[in-house]
């Protein structure tokens, strides 16, 4: 029962195919986007952000809301901490992942599990601006005046089972992620919105430490 | 001694004049309940959120997702039948589905025929006994004075298979629930979340 959890978690930031989003037009020069995205990411040494998550269960007309704090510290450390209405912590530090649920804390090694390796690389590639190079997803890019919209379609059967598509909304001014939407074939989706983003705000090593 | 109770585990129970139908009044009304959920399966931890929601058609839907929003399973406990709406491949095994159906079904009192029960008493507790699956018995143990379900036990003649403890019920819906399988290391802990 544990394996699916790992795999599902690994799919957190993964992707799919949608119709063109309203108000957006297709981006023809993907190489220019990728270059600017990578250049902006290179200047980003850290991120502090709040986030809100909304899980929509369409058939049940039900929403599950949660919120927390997101931290990134270059080159490869991420902290995702849910603070309301429940506490849940995930810290990624290079090839190690810490999961803390109430009092239970466990550290996993990415090398121990293919899913962890996938999780590690996908999250980092999103923050580091290299996600377009990931061959596990087919990307389609759109833009409007202020944001890019990156739709990614999972290519593996494993990923397709979990998500029909994933959409990233990326701010044009600093290439930070405004929103992640993960859609399921059932019509359900999960939307994570990042707010109060502070690029290059100090993040202490202890906050992104795995031990 | 109660021979009808047949078994070493419950031989101290005494027959009660209480009707088994009275248990129906303690059936939980899961209008819409969200639980923080922790699972321990053979030492492997798993956590997430369990939503239990009653639908207008009389069915009860039970959806389990992880904290990040990935759905593990979606079950429908319908008036006529149990149905798997969705389930990730890794969990979609007959044995796993059946175990979850039985465990959750016991809490929901799903398709429980209140007329087929017998009631026993031991000190301040009433034991409502019903036939379980595969020649087991299902006991709903209530506090005779408080009129609340304290625990659910699924047992063979010789061994308890499952004990479910229920705490702080409101309208028969427990605030905390702890399921503990006795024959192998598998437990589920549920704590209600106020959204």
A92 interface with B at CB cutoff 8 Å: no
How many contacts (CB atoms, under 8 Å) link A and B?
A: 92
Q: Is the ipTM of this complex over 0.85?
A: no
pLDDT digit string, tens, across residues B79-88: 999 999 999 8
The total of structural domains in chain B comes to 1
A69 interface with B at CB cutoff 8 Å: no
Once rounded to an integer, what is the mean pLDDT over residues A13-27? 70
A1 interface with B at CB cutoff 8 Å: yes
Can you give the pLDDT at residue B5?
Answer: 46
Whether the CB-CB separation of B48 and B37 falls below 8 Å is answered with yes
Residue of B nearest to A106 (CA): B45
CB-count burial class (<10 Å; 0-12, 13-18, 19+) for B9: middle
Can you give the pLDDT at residue B8?
Answer: 67
Give the integer Cα–Cα distance in Å for B119 and B162. 19
Can you give the pLDDT at residue A121?
Answer: 63
User: In this structure, is residue B7 part of a structural domain?
Assistant: no
**pLDDT value at B184 more than 80:** yes
Q: Domain locations in chain A?
A: 14-199
User: Nearest C-alpha of chain B: how many angstroms from A58?
Assistant: 12
Can you give the pLDDT at residue B131?
Answer: 93
Give the integer Cα–Cα distance in Å for B36 and B178. 12
Cβ–Cβ gap B32/A9 under 8 Å: no
| Of residues A59 and B19, more confidently modeled | B19
At A113, the pLDDT band (50, 70, 90 cuts) reads low
Smallest Cβ–Cβ distance between B46 and the set A1, A12, A57 belongs to: A1
Distances (CA, A) of B187 to A3, A110, B39: 17, 27, 6
B43 interface with A at CB cutoff 8 Å: no
User: Nearest C-alpha of chain A: how many angstroms from B87?
Assistant: 10
At A8, the pLDDT band (50, 70, 90 cuts) reads very low
Give the burial string for B66-97 (b: 16+ CB within 10 Å, else e). bbbbbbbbbbbbbeeebeeebbbebbeeeeeb
B140 interface with A at CB cutoff 8 Å: no
Residue of B nearest to A8 (CA): B70
Domain A14-199 carries which CATH code? 2.50.20.10
DSSP secondary structure string for all residues of B96-126: HHHHHHHHHHHHHTTT--GGG-EEEEETTEE
Can you give the pLDDT at residue A48?
Answer: 96
- Which domain, by its residues, includes B90? 14-192
User: In this structure, is residue B5 part of a structural domain?
Assistant: no
Q: Identify the CATH number of the domain in which residue B137 sits.
A: 2.50.20
Mean pLDDT of chain A: 82
Cβ–Cβ gap A57/B63 under 8 Å: yes
User: Nearest C-alpha of chain A: how many angstroms from B53?
Assistant: 8
Nearest alpha-carbon partner for B108 in B179, B195, B13, B193: B179
At B195, the pLDDT band (50, 70, 90 cuts) reads low
Nearest alpha-carbon partner for B130 in B158, B152, B99, B97: B152
User: In this structure, is residue B2 part of a structural domain?
Assistant: no
CB-count burial class (<10 Å; 0-12, 13-18, 19+) for A85: middle
Once rounded to an integer, what is the mean pLDDT over residues B92-100? 92
**pLDDT value at A136 more than 90:** no
Residue of A nearest to B59 (CA): A60
pLDDT digit string, tens, across residues B39-51: 888 887 788 899 9
* Highest mean pLDDT, choosing among A6-15, A119-128, A190-199: A190-199
Give the integer Cα–Cα distance in Å for A13 and A130. 13
pLDDT digit string, tens, across residues A61-83: 889 999 999 999 988 898 999 99
What φ, ψ does residue B15 adopt, rounded to 5°?
-60, 145
**pLDDT value at B6 more than 50:** no
For residues A113, A116, A120, A122, the Cα torsion angle rounded to the nearest 10 degrees is 110
Can you give the pLDDT at residue A4?
Answer: 44
User: Nearest C-alpha of chain B: how many angstroms from A28?
Assistant: 32
Q: Is the peptide bond before A85 cis (omega within 30 degrees of 0)?
A: yes
Cβ–Cβ gap B85/A88 under 8 Å: no
Give the integer Cα–Cα distance in Å for B61 and B39. 19
Residue of B nearest to A183 (CA): B70
Distances (CA, A) of A187 to A28, A164, B71: 29, 9, 12
User: In this structure, is residue B6 part of a structural domain?
Assistant: no
């Amino acid at each position: 029962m544990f394996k699916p959890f790992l795999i599902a978690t690994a799919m957190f930031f993964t992707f799919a195919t949608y119709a063109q989003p309203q108000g957006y037009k297709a981006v023809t020069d993907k190489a220019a986007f990728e270059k600017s995205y990578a250049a902006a990411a290179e200047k980003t040494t850290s991120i502090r952000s709040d986030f809100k998550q909304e899980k929509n269960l369409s058939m049940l007309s039900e929403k599950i809301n949660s919120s927390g704090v997101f931290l990134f510290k270059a080159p490869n450390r991420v902290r995702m901490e849910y603070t309301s209405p429940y506490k849940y912590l995930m810290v990624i530090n290079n090839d190690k992942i810490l999961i803390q649920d109430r009092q239970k804390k466990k550290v996993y090694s990415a090398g121990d599990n293919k899913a962890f390796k996938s999780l590690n690389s996908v999250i980092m590639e999103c923050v580091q601006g290299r996600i377009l190079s990931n061959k596990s997803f087919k990307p389609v890019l759109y833009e409007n005046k202020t944001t890019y919209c990156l739709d990614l379609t999972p290519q593996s059967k494993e990923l397709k089972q979990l998500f029909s598509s994933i959409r990233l909304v990326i701010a044009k001014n600093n290439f930070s992620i405004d929103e992640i939407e993960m859609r399921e074939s059932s019509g359900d989706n999960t939307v994570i919105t990042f707010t109060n983003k502070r690029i290059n705000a100090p993040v202490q090593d202890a906050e992104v430490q795995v031990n | 001694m109660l021979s009808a109770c047949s078994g070493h585990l419950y031989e101290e129970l005494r027959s009660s004049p209480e009707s088994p139908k009275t248990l129906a009044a303690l059936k939980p009304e899961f209008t819409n309940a969200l639980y923080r959920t922790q699972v321990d399966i053979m030492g492997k931890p798993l956590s997430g959120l369990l939503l239990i929601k009653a639908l207008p058609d009389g069915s009860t839907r039970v959806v389990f997702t992880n904290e990040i929003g990935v759905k593990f399973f979606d079950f429908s406990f319908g008036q006529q039948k149990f149905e798997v709406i969705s389930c990730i491949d890794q969990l979609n095994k007959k044995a796993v589905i059946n175990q979850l159906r039985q465990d959750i079904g016991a809490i929901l009192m799903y398709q429980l025929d209140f007329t087929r029960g017998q009631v026993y008493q031991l000190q301040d507790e009433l034991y409502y006994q019903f036939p379980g699956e595969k020649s087991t018995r299902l006991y709903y143990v209530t506090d005779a004075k408080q009129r609340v379900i304290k625990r659910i036990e699924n047992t063979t003649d010789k061994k308890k298979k499952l004990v479910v403890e229920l705490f702080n019920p409101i309208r028969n819906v427990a605030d905390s629930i702890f399921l503990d399988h006795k024959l192998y290391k598998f437990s589920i802990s549920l704590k209600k979340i106020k959204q």
